[in-house]
Chains A and B, each alone.
Chain A
Amino acid sequence: MAVKVLKPGLATTVQDLGRPGYYHIGIPLSGGMDRHALAAANLLVGNEAGAAVLEAVFMGPELEFTADTTVAVTGAELPPKLDGELRETWTSFKVKRGQILSFDFLKQGARGYIAVAGGIDVPVVLGSRSTYALGALGGFKGRKLEAGDELPVGNAAATGKDGRSVARDLRGQPAGMPTELRAMPGLYWHRITEAAGNGFFSDTWKVAPEADRIGYRFKGGQPLDFVPREPPFGAGSDPSNITDACYPYGSIQVPGGTEPIVLHRDAVSGGGYFMVGTVIAADMDLIGQLQPNTPVKFVKVDMDQALAARRSRSELLSRLHSALA
């Protein structure tokens, strides 16, 4: 069977859990920005947790199905409509051949995950079906979807069940305002003054309009003051420059000391800006659900706290697996 794209939405891409192993040549992990929601969508329709799904940002696509199947939409509150009739998010539902799936306006969050029983069956490139649009790699022809695309769907291992649902406490979505992103100071933290470091963690930042799969920019906090130095050979003259180095996923670079950028799944793998630290892996999913203008606070944690948060996130996933087994 296939899914026909009638309207593509804003930037809808095929994503799975990503493509590790090629960051040293500039090919990032890619994959769903909210991996927990991606796994949930798959489990709801009877797929393996890491099957390929559609990631729709801010606005849903319009899709037609060429055979009967089961679908689920998770992540953002992007309400699905089947032939115009509203369906629940985080709940599986049957779709008949020829029916049209469209979406209501976004109510909350930023990215919806649309899983189809059997998974989106685009070719596996370097071990993954994820789209890396900057490198025109993977996914459907290496790009976001366009009207007229026909996406192949794999054979469903089991017939997906109707009306299965994920309880609210298993969804792992951002809670509370401002959203708290836990981060470990480090990398080039020593480049800024103590006062600037304190300000970074006490200020409330807002998601800037420049927020995509490569990275999220934040604004509204105090500019960071630098510790004076002689520019090292090869670094460049701006105090925020470093000799071009690798960028960790989740690393927080602050070009010019003004607007922090947190790199995400399609990260540029390196460059010449200093970084104050790194958002912990457990909180990376949350970033994928932040809309522009959302207030955010960075919360300072150490390695032990990061590992505890990691365990708790992984327990949430185990509970999700058990609930949908």
Chain B
Amino acid sequence: MQTRFSFGGDEHIFAEVGEAMSLEAFFKSLFITNAVRDAKIKGVTEICPANASYQVKFDPDQIKPDDLLTELKRLDSASEKSEPVIKTRIIEIPVLYNDPWTHETLMRFRERHQNPEGTDLEYAARINGLDSVDAFIKAHSSAPWFVSMVGFVAGLPFLYQMVERKRQLQAPKYLRPRTDTPKLTVGHGGCFSCIYSVRGAGGYQMFGITPMPIYDPNQNISYLRDFMCLFKPGDIVKWKPIDRAAYDAAVADVDAGRFAPVIRDVSFSLTEFNRDVDAYNSKLDGVLHGR
């Protein structure tokens, strides 16, 4: 994989690690942005990993654009020789799939959908060759997902499924974007899932909703007091399907300030993962549940 560099005006360097999405391209962009952060380069003001690319913002009054470019190229080639391991976290996200709120919203915008007769979940199950919504939910929630990018709006994670490409779930975006999406909707577009951190416009298929806030600018939510956004690029997410009773209980817990998300530190090795995906994922599951 040959990284393509380009200046984004006089204040950004954009690096496309891969044109196509792949775990390798994501992992490399995450690895290099970590190295850039550790290198504490004078004049660098923002370091943003994305799905298969990354971007560094800098102050050209403090570092010459060409000097920074040279440094990034050096880190890029050094990364080829490094062991692809990162220290990160695995986070369990409870999801009420097929919930009444996204259902109400998807019915409201049905004329903008490829399949106006069914629901988003029914459509996604069919085009992924799965025979039921339940089978789709199982496919969506059985393997973990990488937070491959945080952004678009504050705290919104893009998630990339940690399985071989042939098993990856894919679904196109709505034909025309909706003007409304409930807050905390679990959505999917292309090969990416996401969680809408705030209510607003959106074009991803809607599968469910989590009771667990992921962005709180007022920092009242107990686990967001240290920082207002839950996710960082490189976090690993495991969806946990829950029923309505568990959803209501979790919402009550969040409101009462006693909801404690399950978050564990974990080390991720791309080499070991690629050796046996399912075995590695079940090991990650073990870390999550303290086994």
Contact = CB atoms under 8 A, between A and B. Distances in A.
Contacts of B231: 25
Contact of A245 (B7, B16, B45, B215): B16
Given A280-B10, A307-B60, A246 B151 contact: yes
A65 to B, nearest CB: 29
A184 B51 CA distance: 24
A270 B190 contact: no
Contacts of B191: 233-234
Contacts of A233: 20-22, 165, 191
Given A134-B153, A250-B9, A306-B9, A237 B172 contact: yes
A27 B53 CA distance: 18
Nearest to A271: B152
A187 B16 CA distance: 9
Contacts of B49: 24
A251 B8 contact: yes
A20 B12 CA distance: 14
B52 interface: yes
Interface in A59-78: none
A248 B14 contact: yes
Interface stretch (A135-143, A202-210, A290-298): A135-143
B46 interface: yes
B242 interface: no
B11 interface: yes
B158 interface: yes
Q: Which of A126, A237, A270, A279 has the most CB of B within 10 A?
A: A270
A307 B51 CA distance: 30
B35 to A, nearest CB: 15
A24 B215 contact: no
A268 B149 CA distance: 13
A141 to B, nearest CB: 10
Contacts of B172: 236-237
Interface string A226-254: 00000011111100001111101111000
Contacts of A272: 190
B111 to A, nearest CB: 20
Interface in A187-212: 187, 189
A268 B198 CA distance: 13
Contacts of B197: 26
Contacts of B217: 125, 135-138, 142
Contact of A186 (B6, B149, B192): B6
Given A268-B152, A279-B9, A248 B50 contact: no
A299 interface: no
Nearest to B191: A234
A71 B158 CA distance: 45
A273 to B, nearest CB: 11
A243 B10 contact: no
A245 to B, nearest CB: 4
Given A136-B217, A233-B20, A244 B153 contact: no
Contact of A248 (B12, B149, B228): B12
B12 A307 contact: no
Contacts of B133: none
Contacts of B10: 184, 280-282, 303, 306-307, 310
Given A245-B53, A307-B65, 20 more contacts: A23-B151, A24-B49, A24-B150, A135-B215, A137-B228, A183-B9, A186-B8, A232-B19, A232-B21, A237-B172, A243-B20, A244-B190, A248-B55, A248-B57, A251-B9, A270-B152, A271-B152, A272-B190, A278-B9, A303-B10
Interface of B: 6-12, 14, 16, 18-22, 33, 45-55, 57, 60-61, 65, 149-156, 158, 165, 172-173, 190-192, 197-198, 200, 215, 217, 228-229, 231-233
25 contacts: A21-B46, A23-B48, A24-B46, A24-B47, A24-B48, A24-B150, A25-B150, A25-B229, A26-B151, A26-B154, A26-B229, A134-B154, A184-B9, A187-B6, A234-B20, A234-B190, A236-B173, A246-B14, A246-B48, A249-B11, A251-B8, A303-B65, A306-B10, A307-B60, A307-B65
Instruction: List 3 tightest A-B contacts by C-beta distance, closest first.
Output: A234-B21, A248-B8, A278-B9
Interface of A: 20-21, 23-27, 125-126, 132, 134-138, 142, 183-184, 186-187, 189, 232-237, 242-246, 248-251, 268-272, 275, 277-282, 303, 306-307, 310, 314
